[in-house]
Structure 1
Amino acid sequence: MAVRNRQVANFTITSDQWAAGKVGRRVVEALRGWGYRADEEEVKDVCRLLVEPAVADEGKRISVHVADQDARALVVALSHRPSPAPHDDVLTRIAAIPITASCGTDAAPDGRRVWALMDTQLKATPLVQP
């Protein structure tokens, strides 16, 4: 997977029961920093669903990659565990969240990747009073 010419944020966290909350908060912070306004609860819900399969793969860490383009945010979670167990219903659950534009998963040599592309809105430019 290659992402170019975008604002990006990348981080690695420990794969544990708190991982989903940490990822949700950091993704929301990144989107705010880029000037995007999104339904933060929906962003956190999508992140939770992206991270659950990675935690279930029982690796030691999870890598998260966030990128933006044209009022959309791509979030990818990588489990770092080869030969992951299937997690069949995760895409249906991610797609059911209204902010989700598309989602997918694949197994790579370095673990399972689960991703979602989320619609966001650009913040309105404040009006300057004369």
Structure 2
Amino acid sequence: MPTARRGVGMVNRRGANWSLESAPWAAGKACAAVTGQLAKWKYRPAPETVTAVEAVTTLLVEAAVADGGSKVSVHLSDQDGQACILALSHHTALTTGHDDAGGDVLHQITAHQAVTGCGTDTGPDGRRLWAVIGLG
């Protein structure tokens, strides 16, 4: 029996996701959702880490919105005191493979000291941009 097209998947960790209209206000809504979920998971990061989470979420979502899809999804997971934030553009007309265009966004993301890793690629479901942030 055929299965539905599979998007982002994860195992052995908590996760949450939100689907948002691809609009200028999406980044603000995503920031509130991500920081709210981390609080529900009982994370109490230092103020500078909260600032980094908000800034990185904004960069990820704004880049996904700029791709021009009709929606953006934001995925959050945690493991070992770190959070992975992923934004997916859902713009299916993009060329698949390594995403050189996302390089500038990655440099902006890595400017935040709390970021331990980030990346971007493009697949059949659009461009994925992600960052891992230490919450300790």
Q: Shorter-chain TM-score: which interval? A: 0.7 to 0.9
Q: CA deviation at 1:42?
A: 1.3
Q: CA deviation at 1:37?
A: 1.8
Q: Which amino acid aligns with 1:51?
A: V
Q: Which consecutive segments of 4 or more residues in structure 1 shift more than 3 A?
A: none
After superposition, where does 1:1-130 map in structure 2 within 5 Å? 1-38=8-45, 39-82=49-92, 83=94, 86-121=101-136
TM-score by length of 1: 0.88
TM-score by length of 2: 0.84
Measure, in 1, the Cα distance between the counterparts of 2:21 and 2:44.
28
- Counting matched residue pairs gives 121
**Deviation per residue, 1:20-53 (Å, 9 max, x gap):** 1111111000111111122222110000111111
> Of the two, which has the highest radius of gyration?
1
Q: CA RMSD in A?
A: 1.4
**Percent identity over paired residues:** 44
Normalized per residue, the structure richer in helix is 2
Measure, in 2, the Cα distance between the counterparts of 1:33 and 1:45.
20
Q: Which blocks of at least 5 consecutive residues in structure 2 are unaligned? A: 1-7
Q: Which amino acid aligns with 1:104?
A: G
Measure, in 2, the Cα distance between the counterparts of 1:87 and 1:64.
17
